[in-house]
Structure 1
């Protein structure tokens, strides 16, 4: 132990001595100025790289509230809230472009005499990388990755005992390559990918056994005993087309349109999965904004559950067009 302490003290003393000698040496050496210049130059290069990066962060909340006191028409007191955040990190230099974005949304509704219910739940991450042949072309050779799922359990209200969806049940990833048209003046992008892998994750085994969201269901015997568990992942290979468009149609009013179309080569080619979002955003002032929008989805692999015969049990039915309409006014902070 004493030897270890002495060794440590010797090392500390040696380091101090070396540092002192080096300090005097640098003071006498004229190349020290060049070293400082090099450091300054490296810092300048690092700062110059930052100008190719752009970022945008948005946090917002939409609130609505209705309260009744001796209201002869009747009604229930209710409060609704939608929390959302968007993050963008984009890089563009010469012939290279790299775009990254993340979108988080979660909404709740509380009514008098009823449990809190979820109204919206979304987690999306997108990343695309592309390069072009010259500085005048708007066409890029591009690769794209996207992921989307949800944060918490979904229910067929008023039943809150059995979840019909969870985080990563389903979860979707798209990974592919193709070409992208990007017009910075019109704020228009069109992406075409003839080679896209789509993976559907159902990590809740009960939902996987039921074959929800297109995965292979469990194999059972005549008594319903499971002989083989359902698959948790389904992989598809197909064609993907996405389009994004944003335009200010009037002062402080802009329209944003996002469309995604996918078709699997190996399973019912021509049967198209649709994901279409249209939003109109209206700016009241720097912090207050209003928005109205629609979200349409169709996926042949998404089956729906409902009580068709009134026995209290949910039966699985076929796919349907999913429609969501949104209207909100709230506070938004961007930086």
Structure 2
């Protein structure tokens, strides 16, 4: 009996020791939440792609209409429309800056008892590529390209038989290298190029023969017979200064200024070609906007045409200051 009791005590002691050792086995706890979080962060870093491109698109339609029915003061019914588009594609990364823009404007006016007339016609494409020395500098070593022309024929109304301008007659192309200042906080850029090539295209032979827009005119004999055709391209080398500025001067009132000054080294240096535009955009809501603008141009190579002696023929006179004023309200869609 004593032996059995002793055996039972030894057995119970062995089970107790085994249980104690079993529950003292270290338990490893894995924080799956933290692991999943790290995995998500890693995946996010791998899939997050930085976009260095910035784009702006805006298309609009300005419209005005006047209609009369039994109106005692008289008047002609008329409809005017202007379609315009502004597009930008800009790339900026560290020390590199590449800006591209395109401006399209075309307007017509239809008045009772009169043919449809063009009121505005413009195509402008610009591209500027620059690189700066370090990230603190606001000056860029830049190369710049500007191109502008029109879409359809232009006339000295009411004469619609003889166009005074056409597509690529004229067309202007500026290519140059220089330095550009870009303000770090304001929407302001200023570009100066001491070496700029200006090419003037007059691809209509009749206008080229007349020497329009500064190209070399045709050579004729004493009887007016054509000996040598006029040149269609004129090339100049000079200096170019351009500036662009945009700022919200009041709430929902934005001012845009664009200035271009060019002077040829070889032909009348100091005689400056001017193209200056000032526009004030007034925002009514997200879609309806009003615009008040003006543009001044002067180019010594652009001669004015008018009927001086009243014989129905347009005579070519000297250059004149060109001025345009616009006022419109319409729908603008930005995307």
Relative to 1, partners in 2 of residues 1:182 and 1:311: Cα closer, same or farther, differing over 3 Å? same
1:146 corresponding residue in structure 2: 146
For 1:102-141, list aligned pairs within 5 A: 102-141=102-141
Deviations 1:84-122 (CA, angstroms, capped at 9, x unpaired) = 011100000000000000011000000000000000000
What secondary structure sits across from 1:155 in the alignment?
coil
Deviations 1:222-274 (CA, angstroms, capped at 9, x unpaired) = 11111000000000000000001111000000100000000000000000000
State the 1:307 CA deviation.
0.4
1:181 corresponding residue in structure 2: 181
Deviations 1:170-224 (CA, angstroms, capped at 9, x unpaired) = 0000000000000141111000000000000000000000000000000000111
1:278 corresponding residue in structure 2: 278
Q: Distance in 2 between matches of 1:281 and 1:184?
A: 23
Cα RMSD (Å) of the superposition?
Answer: 1.3
Moved beyond 2 Å, runs of 4+: 40-45
What secondary structure sits across from 2:56 in the alignment?
strand
Q: Distance in 2 between matches of 1:146 and 1:187?
A: 19
**Structure 1 gaps, min length 5:** 1-39
1:238 corresponding residue in structure 2: 238
Q: Distance in 2 between matches of 1:273 and 1:259?
A: 11
Scaled by the length of structure 2, the TM-score of the pair is 0.86
1:224 corresponding residue in structure 2: 224
Scaled by the length of structure 1, the TM-score of the pair is 0.86
Q: Distance in 1 between matches of 2:242 and 2:174?
A: 12
Structure number with greater Rg is 2
Q: Distance in 2 between matches of 1:287 and 1:159?
A: 38
**Structure 2 gaps, min length 5:** 1-42
What secondary structure sits across from 2:164 in the alignment?
strand
Deviations 1:47-90 (CA, angstroms, capped at 9, x unpaired) = 32xx2100011100000000011111111000000000111000
State the 1:328 CA deviation.
0.3
2:167 corresponding residue in structure 1: 167
Q: Distance in 1 between matches of 2:87 and 2:44?
A: 31
